[in-house]
Chain A
Amino acid sequence: NAGVTQTPKFQVLKTGQSMTLQCAQDMNHNSMYWYRQDPGMGLRLIYYSASEGTTDKGEVPNGYNVSRLNKREFSLRLESAAPSQTSVYFCASSESGKSGYTFGSGTRLTVV
């Protein structure tokens, strides 16, 4: 039982390049989330998907897009990367908020 799997673990991009961060969960959870973690700012919600087929903006959605491909997978896309998007990105899933989130191991992204 892998839980929440994120790929890649590390990535370096040049400004203006695009990439997609992948996330998959095998717990049959309905809800999935993308957060970014920055020093001194904690975790901030980028986008979430309450159920398959739905996505909604979080606190910091600008510069990102998401796709809930199916119940298992929730990808985050940076169309034109900027240095301000240098961060650690965490994917999470939950059956219900009350049960808490299960987090992936994170993707460390550097945009130069």
Chain B
Amino acid sequence: AQRVTQPEKLLSVFKGAPVELKCNYSYSGSPELFWYVQYSRQRLQLLLRHISRESIKGFTADLNKGETSFHLKKPFAQEEDSAMYYCALLTGNQFYFGTGTSLTVIP
């Protein structure tokens, strides 16, 4: 069975500090992983995909197959980064979402 685990429900960091949101997955096949973000009272938006190896809004995420992780990182957090972040595993055409991490950036 596939599963996505986000161990932190809440995470607070100070503005300018580095931030890392953890995501671990369990999947027997070759994983495709994504991060989605949901700002307050807004719809979920795709943040980044591991296959694109892109950096969006200063965030990056590296797939580590050995540790089965796909942690989201940003070197300097900004207040506008405060949001709910969901890690998601794609199997077929379906996503399995983690339970989310609520990030608060303290001014």
Contact = CB atoms under 8 A, between A and B. Distances in A.
B42 A105 contact: yes
Contacts of A58: 94
A97 B90 contact: yes
Contacts of A94: 93
Given A42-B86, A100-B34, A106 B94 contact: no
A16 to B, nearest CB: 29
> Which one of A44, A100, A101 has the highest number of Cβ atoms from chain B below 10 Å of its Cβ?
A100
B24 to A, nearest CB: 14
Interface string B82-104: 00001000101111111110000
B42 A98 contact: no
Interface in A94-112: 94, 96-98, 100-106
A31 interface: yes
B42 A101 contact: no
Nearest to A104: B43
